[in-house]
Every structure is written in structure tokens, then in C-alpha cells.
Amino acid sequence: MAMAAPLTLVVVAAAVAVVFVGGGVEGWVLKEGFYEQSCPRAEALVKHYVEQHVPLAPSVAATLIRTHFHDCFVRGCDASVLLNGTDGAEAEKDAAPNLTLRGFAFIDRIKSVVERECPGVVSCADILALATRDAISVIGGPFWRVATGRRDGRVSIKQEALDQIPAPTMNFTDLLSSFQSKGLDLADLIWLSGAHTIGIAHCNSFSKRLYNFTGKGGPGDADPSLDAEYAANLRRSKCAAPSDNTTIVEMDPGSFLTFDLGYYRGLLRRRGLFQSDAALVTDAAAEANIASVVSSPPEVFFQVFARSMAKLGMVGVKTGSEGEIRKHCALVNDIHY
């Protein structure tokens, strides 16, 4: 019963090919196949590049989905996270949450392929949205329909990323508030968090839960909501010191390259790595939804995840006369190089 509403919404979302977003031109829309006339092979070029290269480095899928998420949470899905800082001003990519993003060069290479075919036509924002979808599909994850027609933003500010990207230390109330501020809801919070099934994290992003949760310090000061055996194993074999900021840990141990339900199973066993992961099961409705999906066929998770990814890709998009179509994803068009 708890899953009836999300599943109904999946069916509705799958049937929608044109999405009105109220951009810079009256009635302007995102729509599937936006480039059918202006650059007919655009989506095929993105897909071909992803299919060629992601199998050689499957972890790229995780960094692309994280990049897409971080982009959409700051100024909307406008590829502002891809911009370099200029004139001494730092950009979103210089903010702490984005320092470990590794997908910039990958997107730049796809952009160069598309630019050779159709100069100045396809936005970096659309390329990021399409490449993310295709990469997840390549590693065996769900496929969702991506409406296109996004324009690229011209502004990228470090502080905005610090203020708006959800932090791994957030409690449930703050997480839900953060998502709701972007037009997303409880279901989106639950299912978009499922991307952590292919995620990795640096020790310093959760070491407080292992060593200094109350401020007293030491291995005895662990977060009581974290499974004690799991915490001890992390201290012993992964994050041996509170100061470790280089070691990486799988967020879904044993299957972090597989898009599956392992992350949610871990949450129900109190083995979520981030405080924000653990927060999901502090809410009765969220925990019930997670338990329902875990006991269902994997296709159910794929459906609800796909719905929320399609919705994420609509957050704050620029269309019509807003923004621009960048020639190079790291630079606005009036920056010469």
C-alpha cells in the first residue's frame, strides 16, 4: 500500500513527452527529442560515447550522477557546476562538496564530440543529464526518459554550493526541507538517495560518527545509530584515524559497482555510512517505503528511482532566451581561451 502512489506516478511520468517549464520565452518547453531538427544525432552521440567508455571505468557512472545532482541543487540543472572560476572568484566546483567530483573531463570530451557535429546547438546541461542517464543504464541500472532543451547558466558561485547542496551530516528534517526547497518531495529524497548504491565516500565525511559523535572523542564516542559491529570494522580496516581524509569507503560494501538494493538493505541494518543516510530510517514513512521496496522485485526500485531522476532533471531549468549554449562547458561564451 505504501508504494501505490510512487508506482502510479512512474506510469504518468513515462507517458509525458513534453514538459512546460515557463522559461524565458512564453510557452517554452523541455521535450523529448528537442534536437531532432537542429542536431538529429545529438543523443546518439552522447550514448555512443558513454557506451564506449563507461564499461572501461564503471565508477564514472557514480561521479556523473553526483555531478548532475549537485548541479541541479544550485541554480537548477544549468551546468553551472561545470564552470571554472574567473577573475579570482571561485565557482561551485571549488566548494568542498564538489572537490571530489571527477566527471568534468568526461563531459568535456562528450561536448567536443557533439560540437564537431553541431556547433553551438546542444547545451552542456543537456549533455550532463543525458550522459548521467546513459551511464547508469550501461552499468545495469534503470533507464529514464530525458526531456531536453535546457540552456546553460552563466553564473557559478562557490558559496551557493556550500549553502544549498545537502550535507552528509543532515538530519531528516533538514534533508526533507532541502529537497522541498527544490520542488522535490519525500519520495524523491528516499529514492534519489538510492544512488548511494554505487557511491564511495572519504573517511573524513563520516569520521565524526566513528570517533567524535558527542564531542568527547575516541572510538567509544561513536554514533549509537550506527551498527556497532560495522563501526568497529570501519575503524579497524578503513578509517583507522579521525584525521584520515584520503581513504575511500564503499557506500554499498561488496556491490558498489552494481545498481541494486544493497544500499537500502544496509540502511535497515543501521549500516548507512553518512548521518544523512541513517536519517532516512528515523522517519516512519520513509522507513516503511524502504522496507517495502527491499521486499519487492528490483524493478520496483528501478521504477521509483527513474521517476525521481526525471523529476530532478527538471529542477530550475533555464529555457528559451535564458542563459546560453556554451561552446566549452567550463567557460561562458564571452571568456576567450
CB 5 within 8 A of CB 307: no
185 dihedral zone (left: phi>0; alpha: psi -120 to 50; beta)? beta
CA 210 to chain centre: 25
User: Residue 200: beta bridge partners?
Assistant: 250
CA angle 120, 161, 74 (to 5 degrees): 50
What's the Cα-to-Cα distance from 270 to each of 5, 106, 282, rounded to whole Å? 26, 35, 10
Can you tell me the distance from the alpha carbon of 127 to that of 134, in angstroms, rounded to the nearest whole number? 10
CA angle 19, 22, 28 (to 5 degrees): 65
* 328 a catalytic residue: no
Give the closest residue to 106 by CA, choosing from 329, 331, 337.
329
Of these residues, 70, 202, 328, 336, which one is catalytic?
A: 70
Can you tell me the distance from the alpha carbon of 183 to that of 315, in angstroms, rounded to the nearest whole number? 7
CB 7 within 8 A of CB 304: yes
Give Rg (Cα) of the chain.
20
Non-local CB neighbours of 227 within 8 Å, separated by 6+ positions: 269, 270, 271
Non-local CB neighbours of 103 within 8 Å, separated by 6+ positions: 60, 63, 64, 66, 67
Buried b or exposed e, range 96-135, using 16+ CB within 10 angstroms: ebbeebebbebbeebbeebbeebeeebbbbbbbbbbbbbb
φ/ψ of 249, rounded to 5, equals -130, 140
Non-local CB neighbours of 194 within 8 Å, separated by 6+ positions: 263, 264, 301, 305
Q: Could you give the residue numbers annotated as active site?
A: 70
